[in-house]
Amino acid sequence: MKVVVDDDACRGHGVCLAACPEVFDLSDGGYAVTLMSEVPAEHQDSVREAAGGCPERAIRLD
């Protein structure tokens, strides 16, 4: 699975970071960034939770 954060849609709520800090972080500006584009199997459920919980729907899974 691949994960991408839409920089234009993200508003920095941090839900993704709370759900999966192994894959997400916040930039210096306070917006979500991914630490990796290809998500390891052990983190896929948490990344799906992060995507589903994002209030701006800024996380895309492929």
Which CATH topology does 3-61 take?
Alpha-Beta Plaits (3.30.70)
Angle at 10 between CA 31 and CA 32, to 5 degrees: 35
Residue 30 burial (CB count, 10 A): 11
pLDDT of res. 39: 98
Question: What's the predicted TM-score (pTM) here?
Answer: 0.93
pLDDT, tens digit, 9 for 90 and up, residues 18-55: 999 999 999 999 999 999 989 999 999 999 999 999 99
